[in-house]
Structure 1
């Protein structure tokens, strides 16, 4: 009886722990069968559907770039053995043809009997409208990442990433996500929904204005419908927008014939906080609610501190990030609801400190890249092609996922070939017909000639190629890309670095370098590690802390500006900037963070953009950067080798009295508490190193901090173990 009671108590203790396991981590290690497809095809198909949903004032508004399609016919193959008779069920999204040991199988694919022994199974799946996908479930034979796949180029791709049958350059494995039962069809994927209700309703004329209390996204529901007529809905992220039937960005008009149900849910999801509802004819309704639409993800990252404003900023940043994390990482939920590479790159980084959802990163990278041949930059934007490479680099650094590198490497090679072929005689990039050189939304910013910022991004992209070629065991390619990166960096310094101004100059046009200094190249060079200490200090004083250099007014580039300052130890200054900039949006009533915020703008100008009175997005992914900054530069957690095999914890209070939080890693959460006299850290995954400064000799029960410099100490962190360090804070 005692053993039974002990067992029950043990189960009760374990269950809460199991329920809190990271969803994304559990998903990626699912041991059973899963739906599989040609890698990237489902992601392309799903992104096409999602990005074609954008409307402006009821009009269809498709993306501005090329659409790709899944392969219509895909062939899967598996060499396997079974120790005893195995009854296997085979299902496909599409028509399928099965061969077992080279012979056509004509029986019931849902109850296929396979005798003991060694076997080879080949399954062709055809589907012109959806992604050809396969699900196989038996006791021994299951569809999983070990299957080989081809799109009829006569080249098999196996789980090692090596092509068999010929010496091709594709190194991939089948794609999969979270479809782990036969009934969970990939083509049937839908985001989750849950009801939300208004917090206030204001009667007005032939209708009312409903307030849902905060920025949200989903499907409007009309309650108590009676009679015939029209219901018109005008959506607004602000009350001013919802009130403007003539200028609001999104709207709906629905006609009813008297036979409608009492409760009606609109077919298209929208972003809004306020909705103006008007009726025409004899139609009546009692009230409205909505079905909030979202991607179910666990908030694994946390942050709290002695500053309530910063806590609020983190909370709103996390909510902004979740709103824009949907089927993919998108830019904004009102418009464009597209996958932009520059926006997505920042979302990847914020994701690593909030959700650590690897599937969302991989889906987005696949969708952005599309297929070969390459005939334009990603999103048609030069810098966005380079951000795509940087996204791959950081994904490997945080996840350690070599399998994904094998899948995506051929597409990396072809995109880089495209970029290198477009260099000029100086081996530098400049905008060619059809190219959009974006950089940032900034008045008077020149995009002409050889822009130093673009060259810097290309150099980092080449370093990414060298790293990934090394993972592919392609030593020659790795060496070639590394050499190209080093040569380009030398050329960048020769062409753009000014010893006199201790800063990079902006661009070179027709062989002449301009005198203009902008922040972009200079701040990226800092966190890329391209500057020595003297150069960093020069950039810090002459650019980043120099008000005469054109100011940045988008959260997009504030992200990088503040990261560069944090890299140089300016955490206290950065917190003041965050309080002022993000706190300024909160003072104006923001419940999610904006596409652009200029404190100099007043009244209606705060909502306008692109020449439209409500063109500005008030929920934009790049507005959520405090999630990343607080996790990496205040809690101080970052991987120092791929997948957190080793990592660093370097807490920086930045003037706070105390702070605490969690940073997700592949094998759990790293928890950090820091005050002016105590640091507590609990490790997760690999080998961690706590780095901190102390006025006195610190103490830690069960471990001894080691002095490594002037007032600098280190402590090794073991997985799952908590360390409590008594010290005296040294600014």
Structure 2
């Protein structure tokens, strides 16, 4: 009996109905599940693949699980009877208009008229999911789901006619065929050759794949009996350090005849030190590169070849760290960290515009109620989670995800507000990690202004999302909380004499310490007056006496703040020096941390370990975002690029061109000191630029705004060529 039930969990659907017309009509069908459940399940699978020198290394935070029993339903009004095919991952039953259908039906005829189809699925091991395909009936994002139907039956047998059930719209991804089981998902792989293989007299091999990569190592012609150990390294030094490398794998070989063998787990590496014991031989080595098949829609090229190389390496860094989710780095953690993910979202909007990965990552980070800690246990990472939803709606215009996430936003915000101190500020409590940045000597004591600023922005995100879902009372509540907190922040932390927000308040008194963090965020959050912006630029951002930032993570925000202030020529030099410095040190992907004062092997150590630093870290790819948003100058002004602006800024370049992806197509931009070309696929755009002389364009009207500034309205599908003279 047990085996027969298990067999039904992944039952095979009967042959699909024939005919090209029918296949086209049913093309919208996809596997669906309770929103967030598949994402949580998949992240558990991925994050628990981490090992450290062969030992299992799980995440630091609580892991949630999917709901094992889910009810799916949809209402239909059919003009004629319709046959549908059904598939489920799990044990299931089917009801039509409340009447239970016998057995495990794989086909069902729904009569003409109004009907409700219910499918209830149980699966403890995998996520309960269903796939329904008919001529007009198909599983999609309109289906409703719940993990508790709250029904009951009275003594007469009557089913309750009211219930407190909360129904959400179903979650889905791209499993658009009945045979494409969500539980069987794997990333794609393709074979890659080694760039160089060095054989040593002791039988060991040092393999160089030419650049940072990720996947399985394949040993060809493996023969003999005994252990073989593979030591992986992002650098040659790490691979050769059998005692200090971060990752390794031991294989037990028992091959009397030559055969090929793959490593059991994916790893990050450029170099692999393969050391077979005596009696074991290897003919050659290759790899299977593992990747997420994302399309690079964003593009950037310019007159500076070093900057082009920086763009290319940043894009490759994103390719490596964009996997089932946006992860931090491919060697060490391979976890979903909210601070890292938030930056990946922004870079993604200018490279891939892959919203499913954003959504999966957002759901996975949030997990389930009840809330017992901050996201990743880090206070600021919780706030990035809220702000990421704020940004996602602006870039994508996707209301469905906001509706699905809003209840979890509310409960997480309730948790944050409950942890304010008696003065209404966020202060690290037991179990809270106040991170901010990897910076030596950075104080986390007291009420840090940076955390208050992020909470304020999070409350604004809550207000925006409340409006999207129609919670007007919630919108007023969160907007008032944000306004009150913003006023309190500037009353407490703004120091007129220093022309900056001070770093913290300790024992009820603001400190004199000024750091870059809160000040640069206040600029691109648009929290400062023009006078304050200029004070901060001079007293903080361009002041060498204020402690420098040495992580690409916070360089991202520092340079964004400067771009927002119109300092693109300065930022261009900084990008070339900082990211160009990593390239000069041999980087083939961008790093977790980079201090230009360090040279050679000094750049490999971190966390007290000789090779602890990640040499491929998502937050290192920020030039993609900076060049797309502040040089090509493209950003949405309203949700989903319904309206947008293009403000091309050469920043010292002789020319640049590129494209920025949007939900409905790309926006192409080319700029020289004398000509601008812009074309948007959809939405209404505004081109803003400065010119020494009166500009011209055929078939459109340019508006003069004073002070050498001009605007041109952009209609979808038309290319505009503007003649001008750059200031």
Tell me the TM-score range normalised by the shorter chain. Answer: over 0.9
Q: Secondary structure at the match of 1:662?
A: strand
Distance 1:317 1:193 in 2: 21
Q: CA deviation at 1:278?
A: 1.0
Q: 1:633 aligns with which of 630, 638, 650?
A: 630
Q: 2:589 aligns with which of 567, 581, 592?
A: 592
Q: CA deviation at 1:32?
A: 1.4
Distance 1:386 1:650 in 2: 29
Distance 1:427 1:351 in 2: 35
Distance 1:31 1:262 in 2: 43
**1:358-384 CA distances to partner (integer Å, 9 max, x unpaired)?**
000000000000010101000000000
**1:648-697 CA distances to partner (integer Å, 9 max, x unpaired)?**
00000000000000100111110000001110011121001110011111
TM-score normalised by L of structure 2:
0.94
Q: 2:147 aligns with which of 137, 144, 151?
A: 151
**1:505-559 CA distances to partner (integer Å, 9 max, x unpaired)?**
0011111211100000000000000000000000000000000001000000000
Q: Secondary structure at the match of 1:690?
A: strand
CA contact (8 A) 1:701 1:724 kept: yes
Distance 1:212 1:461 in 2: 43
Distance 1:643 1:293 in 2: 31
- 1:281: which partner in 2? 278
TM-score normalised by L of structure 1:
0.93
- 1:176: which partner in 2? 172
**1:397-441 CA distances to partner (integer Å, 9 max, x unpaired)?**
000001111000000000000000000111110000000000000
Distance 1:458 1:170, change over 3 A: farther
Distance 1:626 1:173 in 2: 36
CA contact (8 A) 2:231 2:245 kept: yes
Is 1:690 aligned with 2:673? Answer: no
- 1:126: which partner in 2? 122
- 1:494: which partner in 2? 491
RMSD of the TM alignment (CA)?
Answer: 1.6
CA contact (8 A) 1:171 1:407 kept: no
Q: CA deviation at 1:166?
A: 7.2
Distance 1:166 1:643, change over 3 A: farther
CA contact (8 A) 2:146 2:165 kept: no
Is 1:59 aligned with 2:66? Answer: no
CA contact (8 A) 1:74 1:151 kept: yes
Distance 1:194 1:265 in 2: 13
Uncovered stretches (5+) of structure 2, i.e. residues with no partner? 1-24, 152-159
- 1:537: which partner in 2? 534
Q: CA deviation at 1:31?
A: 5.1
**1:269-305 CA distances to partner (integer Å, 9 max, x unpaired)?**
0000011111103111111100000000110000000
- 2:109: which partner in 1? 113
CA contact (8 A) 1:309 1:579 kept: yes
Is 1:568 aligned with 2:569? Answer: no
CA contact (8 A) 2:655 2:673 kept: yes
Distance 1:260 1:560 in 2: 57
Distance 1:726 1:233 in 2: 60
Distance 1:669 1:168, change over 3 A: farther
Is 1:655 aligned with 2:652? Answer: yes
- 1:203: which partner in 2? 199
For residues 111-510 of structure 1, the aligned pairs below 5 Å read 111-154=107-150, 172-207=168-203, 208-259=205-256, 262-510=259-507
Distance 1:464 1:171, change over 3 A: farther
Uncovered stretches (5+) of structure 1, i.e. residues with no partner? 1-28, 156-163
Q: Secondary structure at the match of 2:526?
A: coil
Deviates most, 145-154 or 707-716: 145-154
Distance 1:74 1:375 in 2: 24
**1:82-129 CA distances to partner (integer Å, 9 max, x unpaired)?**
222212111110000111111110155222222222211111100001
Q: CA deviation at 1:204?
A: 2.2
CA contact (8 A) 2:515 2:546 kept: yes
CA contact (8 A) 1:209 1:274 kept: yes
Distance 1:691 1:310, change over 3 A: same
Q: Secondary structure at the match of 1:591?
A: coil
CA contact (8 A) 2:238 2:611 kept: yes
Distance 2:255 2:323 in 1: 36
